[in-house]
Amino acid sequence: MFDLHGRSAVVTGGARGIGAAVARTLVEAGLGVVVADLLDREGKATADALGSRAVFCHLDVSDEDQWRQVLDEAEANYGPLAVLVNNAGIVDFGGIESEAPAMFRHVLDIDLVGPWLGMHHAAPRLRAAGDGVIVNISSTAGLTGYSGLAGYVASKWGLRGLTKAAALELGDAGVRVCSVHPGPIRTPMTAGLDPHMAVTQPLARFGEPDEVAAMVRFIVEGATYSTGSEFVLDGGSTAGLVLAEPAGEGA
């Protein structure tokens, strides 16, 4: 079994939403957790609410030096690294023709290069510890396409592929790497979306951050023979569309 006692975890984008729920769940699992985020005030409040088993660290995931500092902080406070959850991400509503090249690159820097930097610097620490788990929070946008979200879709497909490459490279060190693919989840990022967008999926509602966190905890503690795998929680949205009942005979 994967022993979490005396070990540390880093959760990026941990100040709120999915990240905050994941941080809370990992503390409950017995890990010491670094809540890493750009949002200093909200991140500190989240870490403070979790007590002595959590600390906040400022992190711009595109900054390599800050990654080193955050990982050092995790191990100095709570012991050898056991878990990295790459959750931080941004979305830009821009299509192929409309999105500015600079914004496209920015989305890739945060949503794809950022997780790569995290894995790049975490992998030697996990090897040294003899085991570990990396969970990359992708999206259903990493399983299918969405119009008007070119950069986001590209980054989430890339993160899915990066997960598989890392799983192949790190398996010999006992390190598992998996991706999570949420559908619409009720978070600050989705606050502006039409809540009725979920009515065409089998479970006609938005998911909750705690449901994603429960999946992450399962991957860490329970899915011990899974690596390079995709875990989907999307209300059935990628299964297809729920069609309306016919109005009547001959309609």
Closest-CA residue to 187 (of 87, 109, 44): 87
Is 146 assigned a catalytic role? no
DSSP codes joined into one string, 81-129: EEEEEE-------B-TTTS-HHHHHHHHIIIIIHHHHHHHHHHHHHHHH
Spacing of C-alpha 37 from chain mean position: 13
Is 200 buried (19+), middle (13-18) or exposed (0-12) by CB count in 10 A?
middle
Give the contacts of 217 (CB within 8 A, at least 6 positions apart): 25, 26, 29
Query: Which of 78, 146, 152, 225 is labelled catalytic?
Result: 152
Q: How far is CA 47 from CA 12, 85, 139, 173, in A?
A: 12, 16, 25, 30
Strands 230-233 and 175-182: parallel
Cα separation, 227 vs 220, whole angstroms = 11
Asked whether the beta carbons of 17 and 209 are under 8 A apart, the reply is yes
Is 121 buried (19+), middle (13-18) or exposed (0-12) by CB count in 10 A?
middle
Type and span of the H or E element at 211: helix 209-217
Cα separation, 196 vs 193, whole angstroms = 9
Residues that are catalytic: 152
